[in-house]
A and B are shown apart, each in its own frame.
Chain A
Amino acid sequence: MWDDLVSVALTGTQRQKTEISANSSSDSLNKVLSQLNTPDLEQNLLSAAAILAIYQRAGKMPSKSEAKMPEPCELDDLPVCSPKIVKILDSIFKVAFTAGLLTEFLDLLSKKGNRVPYNRLCELLSYGDSYPQFRQGISKVIGKRGQWLAEQNSSWAYARTTKLESVSPQELWQTGSKLARISLLKELRAKDPKKARELVESTWKEEAADYRFASISVFKHNLSLEDEDFLETALDDRAKDIRLEAQKLLSCLSKSKFHSRMLERLRLIVLVKVEKKKTILEINPPEKLDDKAIRDIVEVDPPNKTIGKKAWYLRKIVSSVKPTFWTDELKLPAKEVLTLISKSDWEKDIFFALPITSVNHFDPEWATLLLDWCIEKKTNLEDKTAQELFLQLSTAEKEEFLKTRLLSNKTEKFNFSHLTGRLMYSHNNSWSKDLVKETLDKALYSIHTSKSFDWSLSNLFQHIALYIPESMFEEILPLFEEEKFDPKQWKLAERAIEQFTELLKLRQKMLKEFSL
């Protein structure tokens, strides 16, 4: 009956006449409807619609769901952190410049064996979705409830920890999702690299290229000579990306056949000669490559026209041979080699390739050497390359490096936007007291003496605040009080300083709360 009314209402009473028929199964409804047969058709229609609509609404029956409900979460979760700690988490999220504290917060929380309360899970998981650098930390503090939640939301899948006990690796490898398989591989690679390699080999030929690429990328963890045969096969892969990855991994293995082949090539290119009592480097990259060389070099054409073919081959070969070739094989002191290279026609290309191989071979000595060289000669070095080199150093070596560089220009004002200043951002461990003091001294000197504020300091403050040892807080905070500055200088630096002290104070509060 309702459908009839809707149909008339849609076309209009002038086209479709209607009579209200009181023929429903309900007597009381019929009784009301039967009163609606007036000559006014529109009135009848509206009244009947009103009555039927209410009749239907009043008789609404609940519908049943056939959908499968997810299994509820296990209840014996990690203990929840204290409300004070939650408050600290909220403060960290409140403004952008405190977000860096999250790493340490998550670390402290997971060491304490606590989790965040349930009503902070969504916020944290979504944050990790946007900022991957926090994902690992987040997955450790969300407890069982968070894991359970992450299993149901695909954008939080990163937080799921693969359960190795419940499913055998083989089974998971055969049936799991791409993400699950790759995270299984990473986990296995850390514990049992051989097993991980065997799993990859077992299905290698059937996998799609992006899959093969994701799998081979995992080999950088725990890479050893045992992987050589597999990587040599991968060097013949159909996909170039995979061949490049295999090349990169093989060149990290200084005892591999691949490395020997590249070393042979380099030996033919670089010769030490003495002319008129002067040592020079004679460098002759090949004009053409044989088939074997083409296989090893993978990318035969230079990426752009500014690089010639010979220069390109040189870059590829130098970056595949360990840096100690230049000292041990050529029997020259490092500094001298660098000077000789800088005098050669191929300076640009060799200095492009040396940082790459120094990083590949985890050679802190060469890393320091190259960084020093660039700082001294004021050569341009890409930040990313400089950071990679710097990361080869141990904490103590980083400290030493920065300190020496800071102290070396005692008199002149230190320019924090230069390479040393920029490298400070890659010092991501606890800073020593000496280094903090040295850095802040220089920074304060700069604020007190310059006519304009050096904005690179603002970022630097926010970075150091995350790594200053706790025992220095009381000594540092007074140095940054408003009274300690000339009002003009204060005005320039106010925002940066206030953010710095606010960050320090929040961190102080956090550390205190966790030490209880």
Chain B
Amino acid sequence: MPIKWTVEQINALAPDDASVSAAKKLTKLSTWQTLGYDGALAWGECQGSGKDPYKTGVDLTESPAFKCSCPSQKFPCKHSLALFLLLASQENAFTQKDLPAWMVEWIEKRVKQAEQKAKREATKTANQGKPVDIEKQAKRASEREAKVKAGVQELEIWLKDIMRQGLASIQSQNYSFWDKIAARMVDAQIPGIGRMLRELAGISTSGDGWQERLLDRISRIHLLIEGYKRLETLPEDFQQDIRSFMGWTQKQEELLTQSGEQDNWLVLGQTIENDPLNYNLTIQRIWLQGQNSKKFALILNFAFSNFNNAKPLDESIETGTIIVGELIFFPSAYPLRALFKTRQTTIKADNFSWLADISEFLIYYTKAISQIPWLERLPIALENVRFSYDDKGWRLVDKDGYTLNLSETYNINFWQPLALSGGYPIKIFGEWYLDKVSLLTVYANNEFYSFNNMYR
């Protein structure tokens, strides 16, 4: 069943702001000569500047697909967006029920394309079954292992060199010093370590205590490669963790064949940022919590773009809604990352339960990092916290007077959550990262407020 789309969600599909306002202008019923909807497909004919009206269609069966006969280079075009918006606001104006010929033609074409794609995939899978390819695959895998091994050896020597000469000797090194070794690790197909090294670059100039922070981070990388060297002796889940921290990706297709966990997944918060290793890569993190299992889950999406304002992959997920569906967790000693196998419906959440105070959170944190020492980012859901501000910055204070620092790196205007709270204890959600809370969501006055892109 197609899910009900909101105006905000539809506007988020637009390629730019101009398209949003152009589409809005076309949402007058008078511009549409015909409008039809059969529960899964919507279509209409829009009078534009040309002689013939543009034929526009939207397929809502999966992630929406658009078609329009206009010459616009933008996708989706303003007509498609306008049609979608009209459907969301005035569904009963869509009086036609029978598909016109041009819609049938489009659907047939899409079915054909889908079939061809499926065929290609099937051949691919079939080919994978062939003995020749197992050999090839094994060869590729062993080639990679060899590369990784060489990379790890190189890094070991490099780290030991630093220890021999002392951190003071590299204090004045600039970014290229770190970039160089990070790039070597990427070449050795261990981009995860590359990313960790890249993040070291700013530490030596980060002020008091830099040497402690740097030793801490370097020793963490050391621990990771030590773990890799003894990989076979470790439990299976933990092996997966080490491999994924080093930068192996897991095949999602394989995961999707497993059975998942059915639950009502509350969207607690989300954030979008650029990958420190590659600024053309945008990373979207969506945090969920099962309303029955109380488990936290993290959906990661990646989008490549050459523009700064890259569109994230999934804007249909809204903070404060509950997605009823089946989630599959990536194997890990402390499973967090997951992906949806099925999504049945989305409903608006009316509350936000299962939260902790600050001391409870720290116990949870201890548990998590004793499972996986490299865990950097953990979900943090607190209740009964207030916002406090002084010359040292913004902090959260719980009912017992315990405090955690808030991260101000994203230039969040903390006056906004303060205004929402009125000085009373409220519920918050965020990411625990480098001993600070990155605020993502505030729950106050029975509403969820997102802070990922709400900096006014």
Contacts from A to B (Cβ < 8 Å): 2, 5-6, 9-15, 40-43, 45-47, 49-50, 53-54, 57-65, 67, 69-73, 75, 118-119, 121-123, 126, 145-146, 148-149, 152-153
Contacts and interface: CB of A to CB of B under 8 A. Distances in A.
Contacts of A67: 388, 390, 395, 397
Contacts of A57: 369
Place the interface of chain B in its size category: 35 or more
Contacts of B435: 60
A149 B222 contact: no
B369 A54 contact: yes
Nearest to A70: B423
B419 A145 contact: yes
Contact of A11 (B166, B366, B397): B166
Query: Chain A CB within 10 Å — which of B212, B388, B419 has the most?
Result: B419
Contact of B401 (A12, A64, A126, A146): A64
Contacts of A11: 166, 168
B196 to A, nearest CB: 13
A121 B456 CA distance: 11
Nearest to B435: A60
Nearest to A53: B216
A152 B164 CA distance: 52
B159 A46 contact: yes
Contact of B365 (A60, A71, A152): A60
A482 to B, nearest CB: 13
Contact of A62 (B167, B222, B358, B420): B358
B313 interface: no
B416 A13 contact: no
Interface of B, helix, strand, loop or mixed by DSSP: helix
B167 A9 contact: yes
16 contacts: A9-B215, A10-B168, A46-B159, A46-B160, A50-B223, A53-B219, A62-B359, A64-B402, A64-B403, A65-B402, A69-B388, A73-B423, A118-B422, A122-B416, A122-B456, A148-B423
A192 to B, nearest CB: 34
Given A12-B167, A40-B160, 19 more contacts: A9-B163, A41-B163, A46-B159, A47-B223, A47-B226, A49-B216, A50-B219, A50-B220, A58-B365, A60-B366, A65-B395, A65-B401, A69-B386, A69-B423, A71-B423, A75-B422, A121-B419, A122-B456, A153-B415
Contacts of A149: 415, 418-419
Interface in B207-222: 211-212, 215-216, 218-220, 222
A62 B403 contact: yes
B370 interface: yes
Interface string B387-405: 0111000010100111110
B222 A50 contact: yes
Contacts of B389: 152
Interface string B413-456: 10110111011100000000001000000001100010000001
A43 B226 CA distance: 10
Contacts of A41: 163
B160 A42 contact: yes
B160 A43 contact: yes
B362 interface: yes
A119 B215 contact: no
A58 B369 contact: yes
A75 B422 CA distance: 8
Contacts of A6: 211-212, 215
Given A62-B362, A73-B422, A46 B403 contact: no
Contacts of A148: 422-423
A260 B422 CA distance: 58
Contacts of A63: 402-403
A193 to B, nearest CB: 37
A192 B131 CA distance: 99
Contacts of B211: 6, 9-10
B165 interface: yes
B369 A72 contact: no
A46 B218 contact: yes
Central interface residue in B168, B397, B401, B418, by most chain A CB within 10 Å: B418
B422 A65 contact: no
Nearest to A126: B456
B423 A9 contact: no
B445 A118 contact: yes
B364 to A, nearest CB: 11
Interface string B210-243: 0110011011101100100000000000000000
B456 to A, nearest CB: 5
Contact of A5 (B160, B169, B215): B215
B373 interface: yes
Contacts of A64: 400-403
B218 to A, nearest CB: 7
Contacts of B397: 65, 67, 69
B164 A14 contact: yes
Contacts of A15: 166
Closest 9 CB pairs of A and B: A12-B166, A72-B423, A49-B219, A50-B219, A62-B402, A42-B160, A42-B163, A46-B222, A73-B422
A40 B157 CA distance: 12
